[in-house]
Amino acid sequence: MHRTHLPLRTWFLAAHLVATHSNGISALQLQAKLGIGSYKAAWLLLHKLRRAMVDPERDPLEGIVEVDESSIAYRTKDDPVGGGQGRSAEGKILIAAAVETIPGGKAGRIWLTTIKDYSAATLQRFVADNTVVGATVMTDGFSAYPGMRDRNHLPRVVGAKAAHSLLPWVHRVFANLKRLALGVYHGFRRKHIQAYLDEFVFRWNRRRHYRSAFHTLMRIGLMIKPTSYNALIMR
């Protein structure tokens, strides 16, 4: 809210809409709901709120954690969503996901981040950064995962079985993310992909606690440094 020209009431209403919207909200939708005349102002407001969706004090995932990697096609300014086939990185953003499982076959917290490649160094660093020492990490049979330090590795070789039957939650996360990308945002832009991932994680981790989501968004927003429109678009 640093040097904002919008009324404080607009900021609080925007935070409420963004925190409690179940499927994510675009800048165009937010502009309409708030009655803001400028799309640029709505976009900046939304992205400033997205910056407050990563809790710097978050705890790493623990227990049994499903881990997998995937890719999502991105769009350029003038082109529709594209992308190569299979593991090709052409026109795609590579993503790693981790999902904490809890008793009863349910999913707990998740984490998503962009990665530069599918190498063992990259994927094992993702696991080390986002799970506690001693966690049990369930993966498919991809060769990048064996050898993880201080984690119990439980590979599930896909074989003739469908991958989603062995790692159900991480595949559901990827499916929901890709559906959101096409349905709400009409494709992600590469420059801001991590902000969209952070928003998705924020919503998932608080999907049953809307009041907590709003309070958390306000708390983190007060902790982060202010930023400008130019700083955001230059990322």
State yes or no: pLDDT of 163 exceeds 70. Answer: no
Which CATH number covers residue 74? 3.30.420
Q: Which pLDDT value is given to residue 151?
A: 97
Mean pLDDT taken over the chain:
82
pLDDT higher than threshold 50 for residue 32: yes
| Structure tokens belonging to residue 31 | 């502009």
Is residue 38, in this structure, part of any structural domain at all? yes
Quote the pLDDT of residue 229.
46
- Regarding whether 176 and 69 lie in a shared domain, the answer is yes
Q: If you average pLDDT over residues 4-20, what whole number do you get?
A: 82
- Tell me the per-residue pLDDT of 129-155, one tens digit each, with 9 for 90 and over: 999 999 999 999 999 999 999 999 999
On the question of pLDDT at 98 being above 50, the answer is: yes
- 90 falls within a domain: yes
Q: Are residues 99 and 28 in the same domain?
A: no
Same domain, yes or no, for 75 and 178? Answer: yes
Q: Is residue 2 part of a domain?
A: no
- Give yes or no: residues 52 and 75 share one domain: no
What's the total number of domains in the chain? 2
Residue 1 lies in a domain: no
The answer on 170 and 118 residing in a single domain is: yes
DSSP one-letter string for 151-213:
SEEEE---TTS-HHHHSHHHHHHHHHHHHHHHHTSSSB-GGGHHHHHHHHHHHHHTTT-HHHH
User: Same structural domain for residues 47 and 92?
Assistant: no
Which of the listed ranges 13-17, 33-37, 192-196, 212-216 does the model predict with the highest average pLDDT?
33-37
**DSSP reduced 3-state for 6:** coil
Tokens of 81: 């969503």
- Note down the domain range covering 221: 8-57+191-233
For residue 1, the model assigns a pLDDT of: 46
Integer Cα distance of 89 and 71 in angstroms: 8
Summarize pLDDT for 182-200 with one digit per residue, the tens.
766 666 777 888 988 998 9
